[in-house]
Amino acid sequence: MARPRFVIEASEAESMAKQSNLTVVQLLPSLVKSAQSLARVPISKFHVGAVGYGSSGRIFFGVNLEFPGLPLHYSVHAEQFLVTNLSIQSEPRLDYVAVSAAPCGHCRQFFQKIRRAQDINILITSDESGDDGNHNPCGQFSPLRHLLPHRFGPEDLLGEDVPLVLEKHNNALSFIKKPETFGDDLISHALEAANRAALVDFIVSGGGGYEKIVAAVLVEKEDALVKQEQAARLLLQTISPKVEFRVLHCK
C-alpha cells in the first residue's frame, strides 16, 4: 500500500493540470477532497483539507489532527499543518490556498506568521463559508485580507529584519550538556527542528500510526519563558504510551 503523499512536485503538478486543461492554481480545489481523506479526526469526524501552492510550483497538503483523551487545543488545524508542511520542505512562500471549510479565527491569525500574509489568495470550496456575505464566489480566489481585515501580525511586535515562518533562519542553538547516548541522529534532528512541529513531520514522512513512535527528543532553551516540555510529554504519553521521551536544554 502506497503511503499518503503530502507534497506534489512541480513537474507532476504541471502534468496533472495539463491533463485536466487547467492551470496548477485552478487544479487546487479539485485536490481538497484528497487532502480531507488524510485527516485524523476520531473526535469530531469533521475532515478538513487544505491544499497550498508554493512559489516553487509544488503543491502541499494540510489536514486536521485530533487526539482523544486530550484537551481540544491540542488538535492541529489543517491550515497549521499546511504551513508547517511548507516549512519542513523549505518552501519560501505560500501563494494560493484552497480549503474545504472557512478557516477559524485561530487559523486566520496563524496565517499572519507569514510575511505579507494578507496577499495570500484563498478559496473556500464548501458551499457555506461561515462568513456573513464575505465569502469567495465559486471558483475564485481572493486575498486573505478579506478574512481578517483588522489584522495583528509580527510587524506589530518585531523588526523587519527578524525572520518569520517560511524564511531562512538559524536559531544558533547549542547543547548545554549533550548525552553520550540516546540516538545521535534523533538528537541532531531535534536540534535542527527546534520550533518545528515534529508530529507533522512524522506524518508527512509516512510515519504511519502514532504507536510507531518509540523515542522522542525535545530541544528547548533552558531559560525560555514559554516551555513545551509538559505539553509534549502529555501528548506523547497519550498517543504512544511506551515512547521514550527526553528533554535536552540548549542555549
Question: Which residue numbers are catalytic?
Answer: 79
* Half-sphere exposure at residue 215, Cβ-oriented, CA atoms within 13 angstroms: 10
Grid look-up 516540555 returns 229
Residue pair 249/224 in contact by the 8 Å Cβ criterion = no
| Distance in angstroms (rounded) separating the CA atoms of residues 22 and 148 | 29
- Cell of residue 209, nine digits: 500510526
Q: What kind and span of H or E run contains 86?
A: helix 78-88
| Distance in angstroms (rounded) separating the CA atoms of residues 26 and 72 | 34
Reduce the DSSP state of residue 251 to 3 states and report it: coil
Q: What kind and span of H or E run contains 10?
A: helix 10-19
- Cell of residue 42, nine digits: 476520531
| Distance in angstroms (rounded) separating the CA atoms of residues 219 and 231 | 13
Question: Phi/psi of residue 196, each to 5°?
Answer: -125, 145
